Amino acid sequence: MANGICFDVKEIDRLYHYQGRDLGCFCSEKGTVFKVWSPFADRIELHLYRNGNLDGGLDGNPDRSFGNPCAFEMKLLEKGVWERKFPENLHGTFYDYTVWIGGCGRRTADPYAFACSCNGHRSMAVDLSLTDPEGFRKDTAPPQENEQIIYELHVKDFSYDKDSGVLEEYRGKYKAFTLSGTNGEYPTCMEYLKRLGITHVHLLPVFDYSALDEAGGEKQYNWGYDPMNFNVPEGSYSTDPFDGTVRIREFKEMVQALHKNGIRVVMDVVYNHTYSEDSWLDRMAPGYYYRHWEDGTPSDGSACGNDIAAGRAMVDNYIVNSVLYWAEEYHIDGFRFDLMGLLTVELMNRIRRELDGRFGKGEKLLYGEPWRAKESPMEEGTMASLKSNVSHLDEGISVFCDDTRDVIKGHVFYEEIPGFVNGGRHLEKKLLCAVTGWRRKDMQTEFNPKSCAQVINYVSAHDNFTLWDKLVLSMHGGNGCNNEYRKERGPVSGAEAFKVKYKDVLAANKLTAFIYFTCQGHLFLQAGEEFGRTKFGDSNSFRSHPEVNMLRWHQTVEFSDLVSYYRGMIRLRKRLPGLYDKSADAAERITGERIHGEGLVSFLVDNRGKRDEAGGASSDDLVSEKSGYQQLFIVYNARKTEADVELPPGEWVVLADGTQADCLKNVRSGHNRRVRVEACSGLMLGKL
């Protein structure tokens, strides 16, 4: 029993599994059709309105709305589907429903809606063909590159800073992405992204969420992990949240602009829970869309009060169709799944198949968090998309690798616990395992991916500390400043402590980037990581002030050496098949792993091009056409002192060291062909 209604899930799925993709409101010059799925309803009434205002809240009484709604009875079809047709194009008309179950009527917006009112409490009929910016139907994604460099970005963070140069009315909005230049002294926003060289922008949630008042002031802030209307863009990022078409058009303009600038778009999707269990989904089919324990209490594996019941036929259909809608209508190029461990392996593999079938194998990027906050009751016969089950996921579905993250920089929650780059001990073997995307056969771990294609290598994201803050806290203690800097600058504490450009933190940041950029797998970085982004020690800034979260664009000048280092590593990565290879046998390219002592490791990489079926380099591609180097020699030195490492036979050049990346320096080898690696730095050499 859930919400007072008793039902057998398997029986509901058997009797009412509707496989059509026509739920919602569709309107054109041929007319308008409203369709919803509500298997428990006795009758449903459709209400049409002239505007989207809603007075009196969500008390289930449509008569409390502004204006006098026109009411129409819906017709029951098969499989629990209800329908109402009109000969007119009702584009711009607002609507909602009253669903009657057991003599009780509840007002609800349309869970399948494609447009809505300000704050999403009322749905809107929309002719989507009227929302396209000029040329959008011809918009296509830029060609796939050798490597995917994913850049995680919040729409508001991108342009809120006045130093962004963005017009005030566009700051924090979708429109900021449409500006090709900001006429400043240094590149910002889109111009900066192009120069950095990333291939994908990963947008934090951009479908309609509940945490903000869309008509409120610009000082409001939220990451957006509180979904309300899954198929509608968030209105607070639009220039007019009251006109339901504006957010749609401006979202499309943003995608179109990113594509024109050679950048693909990933959407962060939150299908594991809703803002409240009292959602449009639950009002249409009480109890069906959510998981409950045997005693009827809601499960809370999301730590947000409810869990979507993935594994049920119409729940899975809803999620699959929503993903396809964003890919088709908005030209989204990839999806990142929040708390993917609450979804099922079967559902994720189905999404992969559906996207591949429509757009081509691997054309859309798919990845997610292979964990959940708490236990959650799964449907019988399903398997959770957890890290321990990664081998059951399609090879085209990747997961965030917390093992790589933590071995490099230290514990994600406890700032004082370091990783390899900031003083951690006995991590060398794990680090070498990370290099191969955790595919080393001699090291059994819980994480056993089919190939490094299933691995997302990262060291910072919106959650938890920024990389800079983690390094400052772990290397300089709670007050953020050691004796050296106290002498130079006097007492430094609080927020100011995170603004200091510490030499040792800068070196550790570069070494961190060097390491994960030389690990096999996909690459992911939090926006601003490459210029020392700080949130002043705020480890959970989901609703902190926008000035805490925003990208401070002048830091790209202050940290220009760090930006240059990341740009160089990005350029290198795209040219080195030994590192960007995602095949099942890519790990075999890594040989000669050696632990020289605490804090010092090295290995060789076969950098030849395509590999034949036997696992070796193909005869017509013995030298990489991209880089010209048959072999790479890579060293990680986390020690506080420089180190001499024996250089393998051959002629070598330096491609990256502790200060520069993509630099092409001649090797200055010492006695007995040994090469010097500076303290807290990496070294990459290419064999000519």
Give the pLDDT of residue 96: 98
* pLDDT(624) > 60: no
pLDDT tier at 631, thresholds 50, 70, 90? very high
Q: Which pLDDT does position 584 carry in this prediction?
A: 94
Considering the domain architecture, whether residues 349 and 212 belong to the same structural domain is answered as yes
Residues 6+ apart with CB under 8 A from 97: 36, 44, 45, 46, 47, 74, 107, 108, 109, 110, 284
On whether both 96 and 198 belong to a single domain, the answer is no
The answer to whether residues 625 and 658 belong to one domain is yes
Q: At which of 131, 166, 193 does a domain end?
A: 131
Residue 478 has what pLDDT? 56
Question: Are the beta carbons of 474 and 459 closer than 8 angstroms?
Answer: no
Domain membership flag for residue 526 = no
Residues with Cβ within 8 Å of 447's Cβ and at least 6 positions away in sequence, in order, are 387, 388, 390, 401, 403, 438
Same domain, 97 and 220: no
Q: What is the mean pLDDT of residues 45-72?
A: 66
Is 298 within a domain?
no
Does residue 521 have a pLDDT over 80? yes
Q: What DSSP letter does each residue of 178-221 carry, written as one string?
A: G-S---SSS--HHHHHHHHT-SEEEES--EEESSS-TTS-TT--
- The answer to whether residue 496 sits within a structural domain is no
Mean pLDDT over 339-351 rounds to 98
Residue 628 — very low, low, confident or very high, per pLDDT cuts 50/70/90? confident
Q: Decide if 460 contacts 526 (C-beta within 8 A).
A: yes
Averaged pLDDT of the chain = 92
Please tell me whether residues 322 and 246 are part of one structural domain.
Answer: yes
**How many C-beta atoms surround the C-beta of residue 544 within 10 A?**
15
* pLDDT classification of 7: cutoffs 50, 70, 90: confident
The pLDDT assigned to 56 comes to 35
| Averaged pLDDT for residues 54-77 | 62
User: Is the same domain home to 172 and 250?
Assistant: yes
Residues that are catalytic: 338, 369
Judged by average pLDDT, the poorest of 52-66, 85-99, 263-277 is 52-66
Same domain, 197 and 339: yes
Indicate whether 351 belongs to any domain. yes
pLDDT beyond 80 at 488: no
Answer yes or no: do 259 and 335 share one domain: yes
Same domain membership, residue 151 and residue 117: no
Confidence category of residue 611, pLDDT binned at 50, 70, 90? low
Q: State the average pLDDT over residues 121-150.
A: 97
Domain limits at 83? 9-131
Residues 106 and 233 both lie in one domain: no
Which pLDDT score, from 0 to 100, does residue 52 have? 86
CATH number for the domain spanning 588: value is 2.60.40.1180
Q: Which residue, 351, 376, 400, sits at the end of a domain?
A: 400
Give 612's pLDDT tier (boundaries 50, 70, 90). Answer: very low
For residues 229 and 331, state if they share a domain.
yes
CATH of the domain at 320: 3.20.20.80
* 189-219 pLDDT tens trace: 999 999 999 999 999 999 999 999 999 999 9
Looking at residue 68, what is its pLDDT?
63
19: domain CATH number is: 2.60.40.10
